[in-house]
Amino acid sequence: MLNDILGALGSKLDLGNLDLAGLAQQLGGQGLIGDVLGQLQQGGLAEVVQSWVSNGANLPVSLEQLQSALGPDMVNQLAGSLGIDPAQLGDVLPGVVDQLSQGGQLPQAIAEAAPNLLGQDGIGKLLGGLFR
C-alpha cells in the first residue's frame, strides 16, 4: 500500500522515474526518518516539518535549508541513494513525510524511533501532544 501511495505521489509531483519507495525505505530504515525530522527541527525548520506532519498544506523547503539543517553530506547521501540530484529532495521530502503521517500523526514505528523528536521540546509539543 505504501508503495502505491508513493508511486502516486511521484506522479503527482511529476518526478518521473524517481524511486519514492526507495526514499521511504531509506528514511524509514533504522529510524532515519526520525533523525532527519529531528535534525530539520533543530536546524530551525520546526514550522516546516510541522506542516508536513499536520493535515494542512505543506510548506516548501529549499536545498539550502536542507543542507543547513542536515549538512551537505546527509543531503548528498540521501540523494545519492536514490540516484537523484540533491535539489529534488526539497520537492520529495515534504510529500513523503506528509504521506507517512496520515491523520496528522507519524506511524507508531517511526514515532518510537524518534523519541527526541517527539519529546518535551519536539514536534509533539508543537502539535499540542498529538503523539502522546
10-23 pLDDT, tens digit per residue, is 555 445 555 555 55
Tell me the pTM. Answer: 0.64
Between CA 106 and CA 110 the distance in angstroms is 6
Domains of the chain: 2-126 (1.10.10.690)
42-72 per-residue burial string, b: 16 or more CB within 10 A, e: under 16: ebebbebbbbbbbeeebeebebebbbebbee
Q: Which of 22, 40, 28 is nearest to 100 (CA)?
A: 28
CA distance linking residue 6 with residue 37, whole number of Å? 18
- Tell me, what's the pLDDT at 96? 76
Tens-digit pLDDT profile for residues 37-46: 889 999 999 9
Residues 73-98 have a mean pLDDT of: 82
